[in-house]
Structure formats: structure tokens, C-alpha cells
């Protein structure tokens, strides 16, 4: 019985086209197709063109996982961030991706929120794809996640935080120092009453706790705060100021917000209620997003150079791929408190 092959017109993308079918369409063996994919220079130009034409007609995609198992290299970097829409993370990833792309790597991205269990499951899924390295947000992970990462035998870079004991290397800044800097600035600027608005992120909680401890130590009074279990939004910022005012927030109180989104909402709610900023309420944000300097009044915020953070993280991985000696484990990119009219 004659061998049957599927008509190319009947082979649709994603239907499981095999390397053998590509070979039959090109009139060559499966071995030749494999050789053309892995070492094109070892195949004649005419044969290579027929194989490329067959691939184009069928939509065949090589099995990268099988190739990675054979070569111990996938050219994939797994990146896990709390939010893919938040400019704080997306702008950092853009800078990170640009450098990894230059070195032949693609980014495989997942959104984890601030849920350690969700992060652990995402780590397991990504590691099953055999990435060459993994980028994580933060330095605090579940015990199971740490075990998987330590046993994976690949470079790991943790961003947006620093630790004396990173899994491999970390790139970020001290959230405790950022909280202290905000408290010192507020007290030195003459504020004696402070409250906080904080999102459900353990890094934000550390900044809040450091701010409150330093402000109280300097002699300031704490007027409570609003804590959310979710990410920051402008709407929640408005809601938070409304709640604090309902509780009897005193005029001249400074609000330390865990993100610029909260702070933006506070400023809008203050304007809607006819409050003067900074006389009736002063505001410090975090992240120094693009809109911070353009608001009226302009928002005082803590700036982290997201582009530098992404670039340093990428270069740390490139150094590890090159098996460099004396590799730096902790990269502190620092922060800057930018005073503006909201204080």
C-alpha cells in the first residue's frame, strides 16, 4: 500500500504537524529536516529552501522542549511579576527584556499577584519548561518555592528587594530604609501627625512599619491608617482618605501611601472636598510614576530607577551564563525621595 501524506491545504496550524510530514513534503528524510533546523550549513541551499518552504506551508513549529533537553539550553527566561499591567513592573521588564533579547533570550511571563501559593505553582510550571534562568519579584517565597529554585540548578535573580541571603542574586533596594527616609523627610518638614494607606504587599507593609516606627521615634503622633489586602488603585485612594476623614483626621496630617496610585486618589478626593494640599493634608507616594510630577499639586514620591533595575538584573544573569568568577550576589540600586508640592 502506498504511503499516505496529508495535503498541505488540509494541514492547519496547531494540528500536530510532525517533522516527518515536513520531510515528506520537502522530499527529504526526517533526519535531514532535523539537521536543517539544528545546523543549516550542513544542508545544501536547495534542500534547505525546500524544507523552509514546507515549514512555511504547514506552520510547523520545532519542539523547543525536546531541543532544550538535548542541548541543556532553552533560550527562555521565566519572569514572574505581581502585575503585567502595572507600569512599575512593565517598564522594568522592558529594560530587562531588551538586554536578554540582545543575548538571544526570550521572556516567558506570568502574573502572580501577591499570593505566595500562586507564585509557587507558577514556578513549578515554568521550571517544567526548562528555562535557562528565572526572575522573581521579591525575596520572600514559600518554602516549597525555595526548594524548587535551589534544586533547579539555574540562575535566579530576585528583584525589587535585597537580602543578605538571596537564592542566587538579588537586585533592588531596602524597603525599610525607604520607610525611614519618608519619615525623616516628613518630620524634618515640620509634620507631627501621620497616617498610612497600604496595599496588600509585604514589601509595602515593611515600608509602612519602618515609616511608623521612625516617625514615632522622632516624636511624631500616629493617626492610624487604612490597610488593603489588594493592589493599589486610584479609587481605593479616594476611599481611604474619605474613611480617614470620617474618623476625624486632623488638619495638617501627612499621609504616607504605599503607591502613587493611592496618593493620586487621595489628591483627587482632597480636591473634591475642597481641602488644601499640603495645608489640610500632605501626601507622600511611592514609585514616582510618570503622572506624579504632572499632578496639581505635584506629588512627592520615592523614586526607583526602574530602567536601571531591569538592566542590572539582566546583566547579573548574563554574567552567570558566562560563568564569571567572583559574582556579586546583592545589587542595591537605591532610591530617591523626590520632594514636590504635595508636602
Whether 169 and 180 map to the same domain: the answer is no
Q: Where are the alpha helices (DSSP H) in the chain?
A: 19-26, 30-38, 45-58, 64-71, 87-102, 116-128, 143-152, 175-188, 202-217, 234-246, 260-272, 306-321
Whether 242 and 280 map to the same domain: the answer is yes
Whether 132 and 180 map to the same domain: the answer is no
| Distance (Å, whole) CA 38 – CA 28 | 15
Answer yes or no: is 342 within a domain: no
Answer yes or no: is 322 within a domain: yes
Measured CA distances, 283 to 51, 196, 266, 279 (Å): 63, 10, 8, 10
Answer yes or no: is 343 within a domain: no
Residues 309/172, Cβ–Cβ less than 8 Å: yes
Whether 315 and 166 map to the same domain: the answer is yes
Residues 131/123, Cβ–Cβ less than 8 Å: no
Predicted local distance difference test score (pLDDT) of residue 66: 57
Whether 275 and 213 map to the same domain: the answer is yes
Q: Is the dihedral of CA 239, 244, 248, 249 positive or negative?
A: negative
Per-residue pLDDT tens, the chain, 343 aa: give them: 344 444 444 433 334 678 888 889 999 998 888 888 878 888 899 998 998 888 888 777 766 555 554 556 779 999 999 888 888 888 999 999 999 999 999 999 999 988 899 999 999 999 888 899 999 999 999 999 999 998 888 999 999 999 999 999 999 999 999 999 999 999 999 999 999 999 989 999 999 999 999 999 999 999 999 999 988 999 999 999 999 999 999 999 999 999 999 999 999 999 999 999 999 999 999 999 999 999 999 999 999 999 999 999 999 999 999 876 678 999 999 999 999 999 9
> What is the full DSSP assignment across 164-203?
SS-SSEEEE--HHHHHHHHHHHHHHTT--EEEEEE-S-HH
Whether 184 and 209 map to the same domain: the answer is yes
CATH number of residue 14's parent domain: 1.10.260.40
Residues 183/218, Cβ–Cβ less than 8 Å: yes
Domain count for the chain: 3
Parent domain of 119? 71-173+307-334
What is the signed CA dihedral for 233, 301, 179, 337, rounded to 10 degrees? 160
Which residues make Cβ contacts (< 8 Å) with residue 294, sequence separation at least 6? none
Answer yes or no: is 3 within a domain: no
Whether 75 and 156 map to the same domain: the answer is yes
Predicted local distance difference test score (pLDDT) of residue 108: 93
Whether 148 and 189 map to the same domain: the answer is no
Write out the three cell numbers for 47. 534542500
| Distance (Å, whole) CA 285 – CA 340 | 11
CATH number of residue 313's parent domain: 3.40.50.2300
Answer yes or no: is 182 within a domain: yes
| Distance (Å, whole) CA 154 – CA 320 | 9
Whether 229 and 249 map to the same domain: the answer is yes
Whether 261 and 282 map to the same domain: the answer is yes
Q: Which residue has the cell 540548578?
A: 153
Residues 196/223, Cβ–Cβ less than 8 Å: no
Instruction: Determine the distance from the C-alpha atom of residue 15 to the mean position of all C-alpha atoms in its chain, rounded to a whole number.
Output: 34
Per-residue DSSP letter, 82: S
Answer yes or no: is 2 within a domain: no
Q: Using CB atoms within 10 A of its CB, is residue 289 exposed (0-12), middle (13-18) or buried (19+)? A: buried
pTM for this one?
0.79
Whether 312 and 169 map to the same domain: the answer is yes
Whether 191 and 251 map to the same domain: the answer is yes
Amino acid at each position: 500500500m502506498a504511503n499516505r501524506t496529508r495535503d498541505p491545504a488540509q494541514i492547519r496550524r496547531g494540528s500536530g504537524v510532525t517533522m516527518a510530514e515536513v520531510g515528506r513534503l520537502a522530499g527529504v528524510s526526517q533526519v535531514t529536516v532535523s539537521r536543517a533546523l539544528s545546523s543549516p550549513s550542513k544542508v545544501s541551499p536547495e534542500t534547505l529552501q525546500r524544507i523552509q518552504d514546507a515549514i512555511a506551508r504547514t506552520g510547523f513549529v520545532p519542539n523547543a522542549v525536546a531541543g532544550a533537553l538535548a542541548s541543556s539550553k532553552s533560550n527562555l527566561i521565566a519572569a514572574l511579576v505581581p502585575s503585567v499591567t502595572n507600569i512599575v513592573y512593565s517598564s522594568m521588564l522592558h529594560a530587562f527584556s531588551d538586554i536578554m533579547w540582545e543575548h538571544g533570550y526570550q521572556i516567558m511571563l506570568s502574573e502572580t499577584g501577591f499570593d505566595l501559593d500562586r507564585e509557587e505553582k507558577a514556578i513549578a510550571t515554568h521550571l517544567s519548561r526548562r528555562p535557562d534562568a528565572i526572575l522573581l519579584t521579591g525575596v520572600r517565597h514559600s518554602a516549597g518555592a525555595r526548594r524548587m529554585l535551589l534544586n533547579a540548578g539555574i540562575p535566579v535573580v530576585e528583584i525589587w528587594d535585597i537580602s543578605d541571603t538571596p537564592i542566587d542574586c538579588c537586585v533592588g533596594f531596602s524597603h525599610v530604609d525607604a520607610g525611614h527616609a519618608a519619615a525623616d523627610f516628613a518630620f524634618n518638614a515640620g509634620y507631627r501627625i501621620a497616617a498610612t494607606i497600604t496595599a496588600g504587599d509585604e514589601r509595602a507593609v515593611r515600608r509602612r512599619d519602618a515609616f511608623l516606627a521612625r516617625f514615632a521615634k522622632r516624636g511624631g503622633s500616629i493617626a492610624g491608617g487604612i490597610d488593603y489586602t489588594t493592589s493599589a488603585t486610584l479609587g481605593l485612594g479616594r476611599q481611604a482618605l474619605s474613611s480617614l476623614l470620617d474618623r476625624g483626621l486632623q488638619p495638617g496630617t501627612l499621609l504616607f501611601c504605599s503607591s502613587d496610585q493611592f496618593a493620586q486618589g487621595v489628591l483627587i478626593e482632597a480636591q473634591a472636598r475642597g481641602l488644601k494640599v499640603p495645608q489640610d493634608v500632605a501626601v507622600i507616594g511611592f514609585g514616582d510614576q510618570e503622572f506624579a510630577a504632572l499632578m496639581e499639586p505635584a506629588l512627592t514620591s520615592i523614586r526607583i530607577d526602574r530602567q536601571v533595575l531591569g538592566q542590572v538584573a539582566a546583566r547579573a544573569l548574563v554574567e552567570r551564563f558566562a560563568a564569571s568568577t567572583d559574582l556579586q550576589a546583592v545589587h542595591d540600586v537605591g532610591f530617591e525621595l523626590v520632594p514636590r508640592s504635595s508636602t
